[in-house]
Amino acid sequence: MVYVITPNALHHDHVIRAAKAGKHVICEKPLAISVKEGKEMLDACNKAGVKLLVGYRMHFEPTTLEVIRMRNAGEFGSIKFFQGLCGFRIGDPTQWRLNRALAGGGSLMDIGIYALNGSRYMVGEEPIWVTAQETKTDPVKFKEGVDETIQFQLGFQSGATASCLSTYNMNHLDKFFLNGDKGFAEMQPSIGYGPIKARTHKGAVDAPVVVHQTVQMDEMADIILDGKKPVVASDGEEGLKDLKIIEAIYKAAASGQKIAL
């Protein structure tokens, strides 16, 4: 197996080369910098008969999975709203994450994808529309095509909505909130190494504290070797779904229009 943890724009080449060498691949998120590249990576892995997984560590984190179990059991009732806040003040302006050619964007391609992906596994549905707004206060540090802050909203078939914030210019943003007509779940930290903490209308969520990558790798080994089906999908198709929404978010922010998914 090869685990690709290189800058975003290099994922495409490295995953395809690994697949051609007959290796199963885990690729860090985002899967690629475009839907087109993501599809080519998926096709290459399918053609080679190898599995393509994406490094979504939160899909295996016990507190997260307990909140998802409660939602699936109907303990929150009909889901109405999700909020995801993910951000930090980024440092060194010369780093690859602020280089559009290597990163494929800015905060959304790095930290914002957690809020986006989280909205899908917390609500338990796929969004059908997106709106978005971009704010840039430092055009020197955050050059053209490198987003500093993006707010985006998602709509779901059930009528549930999500409101998310992705930023490279604010610290202490690591929070999920899920609201249903019978209860709620609040997670803070929600995606960091805090460890993850959650409370619901029933009280604190009691789940084991783990090293995220250890559990991720154990679970992914079971997926590859034994065909285990995870609670939350972490394959290339899952990564491609996020890329499609990311492209729609950028399109919505640039146009000011609601984009159908």
What residues are annotated to the active site?
Answer: 29, 114
The per-residue b/e assignment along 91-130, b for 16 or more CB within 10 angstroms, e otherwise, is eeeeeebbbbeebbbbbbbbbbbbbbbbbbbbbbbebebb
- What CA–CA distance (Å, rounded) separates 247 from 40? 16
The per-residue b/e assignment along 72-86, b for 16 or more CB within 10 angstroms, e otherwise, is eeebbeebbebbbbb
Dihedral angle sign, alpha carbons of residues 101, 47, 57, 241:
positive
The residue length of the chain stands at 261
CA dihedral 93, 27, 124, 195 (to 10 degrees): -60
